[in-house]
Amino acid sequence: MISINRYDDAFAACDFELDICDFQHDDSAQFRWTRHKGSTPTGGTGPSVDHSLATEMGHYVFIETSDPQKQGHSARLTSRPLSGDNSYLLSFYYHMFGASIDLLTVYQKMGSRLMPIWSKSGNHGDKWLNAGLALPAMRGVSYSVVFEGRRGSNYTGDIALDDIVIIADVLNDEGTEQTTRRTTTSRPTISTTLRRTTTDRPITTAVTTEPLGGDALPSFFCDFDDGICNMSIETNVEYVWLRQKGRTSTGETGPSGDRQDPTNGHYLYAESSDPVSPGDRARVSTPLLDIFEGDTLQFYYNMNGVDIGTLSVDIRENGIQTRRVWSRSGGDRGDNWIRAFVSLPAGQYEITFEAVRGQGYRGDIAIDDIVVFTQGGADPGPPTTQPSGILTSIGPSFDSIICSFQFGICNLIDDPDADFVWTRGKGSTPTGGTGPDADRFGNKNGYYMYTEASDPRQQGDTARLITP
């Protein structure tokens, strides 16, 4: 059996045919991912074949959601550490079929901190789907990529993964420090052509579902553990948002601790004790964000107490509320962190969380783990404010092909109507004083494409390389 556990030009890759490669199980989770072939043991959920071979003999990993697993239990699979000095592209296939599918999340893990960068929930049918993410450089930090599958309400919630690839981002110039953010407004579709080390047949991974471009990953994230992430708290009022760890100061209301780390983690809450009055409002806003069609806001809220008022999410342009996109009022929901999803309209604006104080002091409202997922592909709407400062923005407005040229030119073709053709080369070009002496990784045995300008070429001659 041929395995694609290692790609020549990939940092990490696994098709699970032999084992789980360099990935590791996180034993702090409630259970583990299971390597398997054929159908999962439970009918009506999970795949019947793998993705790599599309046969019952091919392997993949999945979460088995039958007993003894309970709702909310999760399994985590972790990559080996990646250097934050480099940027990478992540591609993987996922299968989410079953009436009780809950959630598949991809995180960047830095130390003990998990930052969500991609998420899917619900039943997507009996098929393998592809996802791709750009992992931008984060100078001086290392991190791992974590895949977390979470069990839903019953046993028909098996989630599977296959053909995970992490490859160096050959579109990014890692030799140049990026000091400005891109300001173009649509996301690339990434296509990655890689080859097995044991065969000449290329494996093409077409990343067509919700890739992230450039250096936005995600558009916004804050878990409040290291501060409030450039959010702004309205402070000219009695009722304000406060950063807190552990319990709030008032009994019988508020959370008992942070959502992920109840002892040491932080969150924001609005303290409803005196001198606050019923109807007072507390507001906290994100920085100005570029939001694309299809982007989603995710956050967790806690509304514990018999005097709970209202929590709302608003869009604010030029400091003025222009649209309310989410709201919850009244009702003691207990000491639980509840996840909320909000579909966001395209545009440039701040997202504001507003708490309205209820009738009594037992009405503390809390929020944590705010994420804006960049999941759309359309352009944002026209700006309604003049941008100020650095915007979180998305990469170039074109579809992209990732090709390292190590094994060929990846189905690119020379334009027959041009004057000459691009040449695939390695090491120095034939002419001294011009051209590179190695590929972009500094490897003299690595390949690249170049235009040979020596005779018989004339001034003004052109060569054109065309994507499929």
Bridging pattern class, strands 74-78 and 465-466: unpaired
Which tokens hold the place of 410? Answer: 């990846």
Tokens 């390389």 -> residue: 465
Instruction: State the pLDDT at residue 87.
Output: 80
Distance CA 420, CA 433 (A): 21
pLDDT of 169: 61
pLDDT tens column, 231-245: 999 887 778 899 998
pLDDT for 334 equals 85
In this predicted structure, the answer to whether residue 462 has a pLDDT above a threshold of 70 is yes
Indicate the domain borders of the chain: 10-207, 220-373, 413-468
Task: Please write down the HEC assignment for all residues of 325-346.
Answer: EEEEECCCCCCCCEEEEEECCC
Span 252-264, average pLDDT: 86
Top-tier CATH class for 10-207: mainly beta
Could you give the percent of the chain with pLDDT greater than 90? 34
- For 438, what's the count of Cα atoms within 13 Å in the CB-facing half-sphere? 6
pLDDT band of 149, cuts 50, 70, 90: very high
Predicted confidence at residue 400, as pLDDT, reads 37
What is the reported pLDDT for 296? 82
Q: Where on the phi/psi map is residue 322: left (φ > 0), alpha (ψ -120 to 50), or beta?
A: alpha
Distance of alpha carbon 228 from alpha carbon 231, whole angstroms = 6
Give φ, ψ of 383 to 5 degrees: -60, 140
What pLDDT, in 10s, does the model give residues 341-394? 888 888 889 999 999 988 888 889 999 989 887 653 323 333 322 222 222 222
- Check whether domain 220-373 has CATH 3.40.980.10, yes or no: no
- Indicate the range of 57-66, 71-80, 354-363 predicted with least confidence: 354-363
Q: What pLDDT score was predicted for residue 441?
A: 57
Two structure tokens written together for 333 = 């929901």
Q: How far is CA 468 from the centre of its chain?
A: 27
At 419-445, the pLDDT tens digits run 899 998 988 999 989 999 887 756 677
Query: Is residue 188's pLDDT more than 70?
Result: no
CA atoms 231, 232, 235, 240: torsion sign: negative
Q: Average model confidence (pLDDT) for the chain?
A: 77
Average pLDDT over residues 82-89: 83
pLDDT (tens digit per residue) in 35-60: 999 999 999 999 999 998 888 999 99
Closest CA to 195 of 446, 403, 447: 403
**Which range among 81-95, 190-204, 280-294, 401-415 shows the weakest confidence by mean pLDDT?**
190-204
Distance CA 135, CA 171 (A): 12
Would the pLDDT of 108 be above 60? Answer: yes
Phi and psi angles of residue 90, each rounded to the nearest 5 degrees, phi first: -110, 130
Rank 176-180, 327-331, 409-413 by mean pLDDT and report only the highest. 327-331
State the pLDDT at residue 350.
94
pLDDT exceeds cutoff 50 at 6 = no
